[in-house]
Structure 1
Amino acid sequence: MRITPGMSADNAIYNLQQGRTTIDQLQEQLASGYNINRPSDDPLSTRQLLDLQEQIDAGSQYSSNITKTETLLNVSNTALSSMADLMQQVKKISGDMVTGTLDATSTASAITNLTQLKSQLVDMGNTRLGDQYVFGGYSTSQPFDSTGVFSGTTDILKVEVAPNSYVGATVDGAALLRGGKPAATVGSGATAGQGPIDILGSIDALITAIGNKDSAGILDGVKNLKAGADQINVALSDVGGRLVRLDNMKSMITNNQNTLKTVFGDIQNVDYAKAGVLLSQQTTAFNAALSATAKLSQLSLLDYMS
C-alpha cells in the first residue's frame, strides 16, 4: 500500500495529539494528587474507588454511632454504680432493723434514711444525657415521678454498630427499679426475695414494716432488697458487657478503615516520583516528535529530486 504525504501528516498529528494528551493527564495528576480525576480516566478503578469510599463512609457512620452509644452507656453505668452504692446502704439499714431494737429513735432514723435513699434512687432513675432519659425509653419527660411511679416506656434504644448488628444504648428503668411495667408485686413470706423485684415498692413496704414494728415484714424487706441489689448489679454487668462489645467493635472498625483507606490511597494517590519521571520522559518524547514532524513537513518534491 502506498503511503501518501497526507497519510504521514495525519499519523504524525495523531501521535502528537496522543503525546499531548498523556502529558496533560500527567500534569493534571501531579497538580491534583489523584490518579483518577474523572470516571473516564479509568472506569474500572473508578468503580473500585466508589465501592471503597462507600465502605469507608459506612465505617465512619458506625464509628459515630458507637461513640454516641458509648456516651449513653457510660452515663447509665455511672448512674447504676450510684444505685448499687445506695442499695448497700438500704441493705445495711434493713439488716440493722432485724438485729437491733425497734425503739422510737432508731425507728425514726431508719425511716428518714430509707425515705431519702428512695428519693435518691428516683433521682438516679431520672438520669438523662441531653434530652435522652437513659432509663426512660422513648419518654421525653421524667420517667419517674417523686413517688417512684414509672411513666416512661420500656423500650431499649438500639443503635446499629455494624451491618444488621445492634447494641442497646439505654436500660429499661421499669424493669430495673419497679420489676416491670406495671410494677411487680412486692414479695412477702415465701415469695420474698423472688424476682423480679419492685425495689422502690419494697423500700416503701420496709418503711411501713419498720413503722409498725413488724418483724416479719422487716425480714421480708431484707430479702427483697438483697434481691433488688442483685438486680441492679445484673444491669450494671449487662451495661459493662455492652461497653466491652462496643470497644471491640470500635477497634475492628478502626483496623478495617485503615485497611480500606490504604487500598483507596494505593489506587488514587499519585506516586509523585514515578509521575515526575513519566512526565519528563513523555515531554522529551513529545518534543522529539514535534521536531521530527516539523522537519517532515518541510520536505517537497524538489528535496527528492536533488
Structure 2
Amino acid sequence: MRITPGMSAENAIYNLQQGRTAIDQLQEQIASGYNINRPSDDPLSTRQLLDLQEQIASGDQYSSNITKAETLLNVTNTSLTSMATLMQQVKKIAGDMVAGTLDAAGTASAVANLTQLKSQLVDMGNTRLGDQYVFGGFSTSQPFSSTGVFSGTTDIPQVEIAPNSTVGTTVSGADLLNGGKPAAAVGSGATAGQSPVNILGSIDALILAINNKDSAGILDGVKNVKAGADQITVAQSDVAGRLVRLDNMKSMIANNQNTLKTVFGDIQNVDYAKAGVMLSRQTTAFNAALSATSKLSQLSLLDYMK
C-alpha cells in the first residue's frame, strides 16, 4: 500500500488531536474535581453514578421520614406518659372509694378530682404537633370534644422508612381512650375490666356510682380503670418499640449512605496526584509528538536523494 504525504499528514494531525484532547480532558478534570463531567466521558461509569445518586437520594428521603416519625412518636409518648400518670391517680381515688365509706365532703372531692382528671385526659387526647393531632388520625380538627366524644379518624398515618416498609407515626385516640369507634360499652359485672376499655366512659360511670353510693358500680369502676391504665401502658410499649425500630433503621441507613457516598467519590472524585502525573506525562508526549511532526513535515523527496 502506498503511503502518500497527505496520508502521513492526516495521520499526524489525528494523533496530535488525540493528544490535545487527552490533555484538555485532564485539565478539565483537575479544574472541576470530577472524573466525569459529561456522559460521553465514560458512559458505563455515568450509569453507575446515576444509580448511586438515586440510592443516596432515596436514603436521604428515608432519613427525613424517620426524623419526622420520631418527632411525632416522641410527642405521642410524652402524652401517653402523662395519661399513665393521670390513670394512676384515677386508680387511687377508685381504690379509696372501695376501701371505706367517705362522708359527703370526701365524696364530692373524689367526684371533683375524677372530673378534672377526665378533662385532663381529654386535653392529652387533643395533643397536636403543628397542625397534626397525634391521636386524631387524619383529622385536621380537634378529635375529642369536652365530654370525650371522638370525632377523628381511626387511621394511623404511616411513613415509609425503607422500600415496602412503613411505620405508624401516631396512636388511635379512639382505640386508646374510647375503646374504639364507636366507643366500647363500659364493662360491668362479668365484663368489667375486659378489653377494649372505654376509659373516658368508665370514669363517667365511676363518678355516677360514687354519687349513687353504688358499691357494685364502684367495684366495676376499679376494674375498668385498672384495665384502662394497662391499655395505656400497652400503647406506650408499642410506641417505644416503634422508636427502637426507627433508631435501628436510621443507623443502618446512615451506614449505607456512608458506603454509597464513598463508592460515588471513588468513581467521581479526581485523584489530584495521579491526575497531575498523567497530565505531565501527556503534555511531554504531546510536545514531543508536535516537535517530531513539525520536523517530518519539512522533509521532501530531495532529502532522500543521495
Pairwise same-fold verdict (TM > 0.5): yes
Q: Normalising by structure 2, what TM-score? A: 0.99
> What does residue 86 of structure 1 align with?
86
- Displacement after TM superposition at 1:190 (Å): 0.9
CA distance in 2, matches of 1:276, 1:109: 86
| 1:74 paired to 2:74 | yes
Deviations 1:52-75 (A, max 9, x none): 111111111011000000000000
Partner amino acid for 2:131? D
Work out the CA distance in 1 between the residues paired with 2:7 and 2:276: 33
Gaps of 5+ in 1: none
Q: Distance in 1 between matches of 2:119 and 2:100?
A: 25
Distance 1:301 1:232 in 2: 103
Q: Which letter does structure 2 place at the counterpart of 1:62?
A: Y
Q: Deviations over 1:120-175 (max 9, x none)?
A: 00000000000100000010000001000000000000111100001001110000
- With the length of structure 1 as denominator, give the TM-score of the two structures: 0.99
Is residue 19 of structure 2 the alignment partner of residue 54 of structure 1? no
The aligned counterpart of 1:132 is 132
Q: Which residue does the alignment assign to 1:162?
A: 162
Q: CA deviation at 1:100?
A: 2.2
Structure-1 residue corresponding to 2:192: 192
Deviations 1:29-78 (A, max 9, x none): 00111111111111111111111111111111011000000000000000
Q: Distance in 1 between matches of 2:79 and 2:156?
A: 16
Identity between Structure 1 and Structure 2 (%): 86
- Aligned positions, number: 306
Distance in 1 separating the partners of 2:187 and 2:2: 109
Give 1:296 shift: 1.1
State the SS of the aligned residue for 1:105.
Answer: helix
1:253 pairs with 2:249 = no
CA distance in 2, matches of 1:301, 1:251: 76
Gaps of 5+ in 2: none
- Residue in 1 that maps onto 2:273: 273
Query: Secondary structure in 1 aligned to 2:146?
Result: coil
Partner SS for 1:76: helix
The offset of 1:298, in angstroms, is 1.4
Q: How far does residue 105 in structure 1 lie from its aligned partner after superposition?
A: 1.2
Shift of 1:219: 0.6
What's the CA shift for 1:305?
2.7
Structure 1 CA distance, aligned partners of 2:4 and 2:140?
86
For 1:95 and 1:234, how far apart are their aligned partners in 2? 22
Could you say which residue in structure 2 is the equivalent of 1:242? Answer: 242
- Tell me the equivalent position of 1:231: 231
CA displacement at 1:301 relative to structure 2 = 2.7
Whether 2:34 is the aligned partner of 1:28: answer no
Equivalent residues of 1:102, 1:213 under 8 A apart: no
Q: Hey, what's the Cα distance between the residues in 1 that align with 2:9 and 2:192?
A: 103
Q: Write out the 4+ residue segments of structure 1 that deviate beyond 4 Å after TM superposition.
A: none
- 1:102 match: 102
